[in-house]
Structures are given as C-alpha cells and as structure tokens.
C-alpha cells in the first residue's frame, strides 16, 4: 500500500525522513550519526524536529543495519500462504484435515523509536 507523502502526519514524515537518511548513509558505508543524518535530511530539502536525528542515531548506534534489514526482509508476509494453499488444494471428494500452523510474528524492539511505547 502506498501513501502520499502529503498525507503523512508531521511525526510520520520526520520518522520517514530519518529512516531514509539512515539507509542512505548505511548504503554509502558511512557511520549513522546525528550530524550526518541532519545534513542528509537538510540536503534533501526536508525539515524534521531537532530531536529525531539524535534519536535515530542513538537507536542505531552499535547496530548492524545490514543484519536488521536482512531480518526484516526474511520475515516475509505473515499469513500470505493460506489462500494460495487453498486454491491449490485438489478437488477430490475426500479431504485430509491437517493441523493449522500457527504463524508467529517477529517482535523487534525498536526502543519506542516509532512511538510504540511498551
């Protein structure tokens, strides 16, 4: 699903700007610091509340960003296989009941970085 940038709240815009700036710095092999995040954000023509770059830099400090991205990418869609399995089921009169597998979502603690207080 896509959302127009103009439809984002100020907080969502600021978080997205910081996330893109952090990814850009990581992609270039540079350290993700508050100063560098701020510089990239300003160079992109965006403005964020002054505390966001520092929060992102602190949250990502000592983290392997490549590993974080790999963990998110490998999680895949949750529950997306069920409809495909149902469509691929044979049209025989005799069905064999299989126990349903429980899908567990990965819970990654981002330290309240996105307003998700625990």
- Reported as a single tens digit per residue, the pLDDT across 48-77 is 999 999 999 999 999 888 888 888 766 666
Q: Using CA atoms, how far apart are residues 108 and 23, in angstroms rounded to an integer?
A: 18
Closest listed residue to residue 24, CA positions, set 37, 11, 15: 37
Q: What is the pLDDT along the chain (118 residues), one digit of tens a residue?
A: 688 888 999 999 999 999 999 999 999 999 999 999 999 999 999 999 999 999 999 999 998 888 888 887 666 665 555 555 545 555 555 555 666 666 555 555 555 555 555 4
Residue 11's region, left for phi above 0, alpha for psi from -120 to 50, else beta, is alpha
5 contact partners, CB below 8 Å, separation of at least 6: 13, 16
State the pLDDT at residue 16. 94
Q: Using CA atoms, how far apart are residues 82 and 101, in angstroms rounded to an integer?
A: 10
């Amino acid at each position: 699903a896509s959302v127009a940038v103009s439809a984002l709240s100020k907080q969502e815009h600021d978080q997205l700007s910081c996330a893109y700036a952090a990814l850009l710095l990581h992609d270039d092999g540079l350290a993700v610091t508050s100063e560098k995040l701020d510089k990239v954000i300003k160079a992109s023509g965006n403005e964020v509340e002054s505390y966001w770059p520092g929060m992102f830099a602190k949250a990502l400090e000592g983290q392997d960003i490549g590993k974080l991205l790999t963990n998110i990418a490998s999680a895949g869609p949750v529950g997306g296989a069920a409809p495909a399995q149902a469509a691929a089921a044979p049209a025989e009169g005799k069905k064999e009941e299989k126990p349903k597998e429980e899908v567990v979502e990965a819970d990654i603690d981002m330290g309240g970085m996105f307003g998700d207080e625990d």
